[in-house]
Structure 1
Amino acid sequence: MKKTFLLLFLSSFCFSQTVKDEYYDKFTNPNPNNKFSNYLKENLHQDLLKNIAYPEKSKKIILSFQVNKENIPYRIDINSFRNNELNKSLKKLFKEFSLNNFATKLDTRKKYSLQIISNNGTHNTINCSTVPLEISFPNSKSCDDLDFYDDINYCINKNIRNHFYNSINYNLADSLLTKEEKIILDFKVLIDKNGKLKVTELKTPEIFKKNILEITEKYDTVFVPYMISNKPTNYSYYIKQEFEKGKKPTSNLELDYDFDNIFKPNSTNELANYFKENLTEEDITNANLNRVNDRLKLYFELDVTGKPFKVSTNSRSELLEKKIISLFKKYNLSKSIFKNTHPVNKYYTPIIKYENGSNKVVTNSIMGYSRIPIFPNCKNSLNATMGKNCYNRTIREFFVKKFNAKLASSLGLSPGRKRIFVQFKIDKEGKVTDVKCRAPHPKLKEESIRIIKKLTKASPAIFGDKPAKIGFTLPVTFNVE
């Protein structure tokens, strides 16, 4: 064992349920000589196939996408975030490749994924799926009116979490003999292949176990199960609640901020009138909104001269997004009201809102804003992007400086790539809290937690004009040779 190299990446935390490599071999007929493979061989620079970093426990590069009601792909993602140039090229080429070549009837309620590149042990090969893998979330009657993949997942997830939140007898905690301030209910439920809800992992005080099992049994909804290329598959949801004796936990399903009351969206302000004059009825009608995803929002930053940049939307239509961004850049922002103009703010406003069964133009009368935590050394950042980069760099450099590099080499770990994931939150006072870690050795876990707990206090994140607690994950990758 010679050396240990540390590579660090920082991102916000999220869960995802991955699809196994063998599903692509079984259901998508990958072929190095099909239409998509030949198209990429002709148009993708071959140097990009060198030194590909694959996801953990995988030797495939996967491209996933969804389609809007115009049958145009959006949310095009690649499963490996470290191959920036490759990912950028693949996304561009995929957008220019006709979906009709796949001979698959596409559905807004499904997510699709394609094997693009595979590794046979010695080299990387363009070996694309002939047909996409089709994925659909569990569904039930209460969410069956929704037309989009992500919205169905949100709706089902929310219904399940609300069921437990409203049904658990939190007063059971009163009989627990513990000096701990917090009671933690940590469990996993799954919708099985038959559409039945079950508890599979239950990490709670003993007194709550029977209660949670009974609640699960009483949940009489029958689901359409999670489907992978029409094959029913188990799908899991992780539920964690923390609360103190005598108190019910705060639901994390809804944001605890009244954004509308603060930023006052309506259809009669200057910005709304400008978009009503310049968007067509077809634009507004075809905004792909519904009761769950009820707003098409626009986001932007301001440079030192007050001009907007990094303008984006959450639109499911790239054409509509481009039109809205183009119009916004021509708008005179001096007509808008900004309640707070901190240079690290990121601003937002709805543009189109779904209300009472139809879409209409609605924008904020006061420009909405949010802000990430700011460490003292980042206070001179000139915009949100600089602030975010400084935040990430501060944590990265602090971790590298404080981490005991000799430790990883002395633990007898097997050669190869290892990963540490440190989860933490920065609370409403800017202090690091709730630090947790997943690591290949207990001493690495202990060391990582020790370091993150020593981070300098920051100015807290801001959401809806109020300080907010916000969570992050620090992924650490190192090679043991």
Structure 2
Amino acid sequence: MKKILIMLLFISLSINSQNFTENQLFGVWKVDKLERKPTAPEFEMLMDGFLNSTFNFDKNHRFELKTTKNSEIFSMITEMTNSTNWKFDKDTNHIKIGSQKDNFSIMGIFIKTENNQVYFNLEESGIIFLMKKLEIESEIKNTEHKLITEKEIIAIENSNLKTIEIDESEIYPFALIENIPITTDCNPKWKKEKIFECVQKSITMHVNRKFNADLASTLGLSPKIHKIITTFIIDKNGEIVNINSTGSHPTLNNEATRVISILPKMKPGMKDGKPVNVKYTLPIQFKVE
């Protein structure tokens, strides 16, 4: 029954497909919804990249594919397709992407229109997407800003994140250590209660200053209080390592991780006169209205 339904959907789209013009194609198209999953299992690993992507067909017939969810395998697709050209066959509603040298064979897309909606059928993969054209210039810029921001976050994470193997028995909770790790703006000569308060305030202020709250407005989050729980280790050298953020949208979890990764080096926590690894848990919450 499942195969019959898929075939009927495909036939329906084909039969009701209307003629599409090259002028209609010009511009930036964003994937709005997955209409049909890939028929070949090897394409499954590309779905996250495609579902968060835009297809740009400019008037000079240059093509560009962008995504906010890049991966090593999807980056191969973007590298192959970007800076290529596209041509459109109006008789078959077929877009061919590539160059004269490869006979425009890098990627093929059949366009189908039904009830004023546009579908991209990715040739060979069996994937069909419902597409949305970004008509307004500001909408295109906002989407491109999101794409650039995501890539910057990933780049910063890759350069700053440190993960090391530490035995659980060698990790001490922040609240229970005798001499807690200290940020540079706290005085180690203060009483323990004052130092504790100072360090917490210092980390919180760092997050408030560095966290890109504008990201939340680009993700279509529901209006409520959103929470992120970030844990990290301040190691024996005072370095921030083993950061983990969960609880909210992946983009915001990544942003929390990025912000913590650029915390300045701290004076390490001490136990029995020796530096130790200290675990810190930081709840972050914000309200979307």
Q: TM-score per shorter chain, which class?
A: 0.3 to 0.5
Which has the larger helix fraction? 2
TM-score between the two structures when normalised by the length of structure 1? 0.24
TM-score between the two structures when normalised by the length of structure 2? 0.40
